[in-house]
Structure 1
Amino acid sequence: APVLNTDQQQHFRNWCSANTVNAFIDANMTLLNQTGLMSNRGRQNVASYLIHDLGIDWRLGAAYFEQRLMDYDCASNWGNWAYIAGTGNSQARHFNVQKQAQLYDPDGSFVHAITGVLAL
């Protein structure tokens, strides 16, 4: 298993519990934790955030999703996480989650519906 330093451990716990500094990420993680579901776009964003913004090994995120997803599929889950991380022959996919939130939740209605927070 990947070894995390103390800060990374806290960041990972916060990500898992939907307690990051990013409302869009938190809304997606809350949805996952409460329902076992998340859109593909949400999955890509939370994966990118964990890997590229928090510096956490992608395998921990893939394992967490394995535990939580109702529609879990081994190849899709691990393959998508590896794709976002840029393992093998692919380049890393680093999403600008603020831009993604503006594109896919421009009025903050998704974040508000899930978390009750107005994220404008």
Structure 2
Amino acid sequence: MTGFPLVDANMRELEKTGFMSNRGRQNVASFLAKDLGIDWRLGAEWFESCLLDYDPCSNYGNWNYSAGVGDDPREDRHFNVVKQAKTYDENGDYAKLWIPELKDVPTENVYEPY
């Protein structure tokens, strides 16, 4: 657990189902590479071992893109996972689905990392 509910929910979904949405993949990749400073290749390898819909071109292409490796006109690509969570899971339903420990946390506090 990272303490960032959007990341944790996505990782639990991946672990339980072998799937993660494209938005989830982007957020998790950005968080690992940009926020934690971990080599993106470790994340790509983990996804390779977990994803049921794994495709090497898509997986490594997305990780390259999220990590800012290669040619990209946008410098410093970075997803703010708290902002993303509040935008795409405003009521915390997704987080609460995959993180039952949050079931009693008020909506306004779900995406405040601790």
Whether the TM-score (by the shorter chain) exceeds 0.5 is yes
Aligned alpha-carbon RMSD (Å): 1.0
How many angstroms apart in 2 are the aligned matches of 1:110 and 1:36? 16
- Classify the secondary structure of the residue corresponding to 1:70: coil
Structure 1 runs of 4+ aligned residues shifted over 4 Å read none
Q: 1:101 maps to which residue?
A: 85
Q: 2:32 maps to which residue?
A: 50
How many angstroms apart in 2 are the aligned matches of 1:26 and 1:33? 10
Q: 2:97 maps to which residue?
A: 113
Q: Confirm whether residue 20 of structure 1 aligns to residue 5 of structure 2.
A: no
How many angstroms apart in 1 are the aligned matches of 2:21 and 2:15? 13
TM-score, normalised to structure 1's length?
0.82
Which amino acid in 2 is paired with 1:27?
A
Unaligned runs of 5+ in 2: none
Q: 1:10 maps to which residue?
A: none
CA contact under 8 A between 1:58 and 1:82: conserved in structure 2? yes
User: What percentage of residue pairs aligned between the two structures are identical?
Assistant: 55
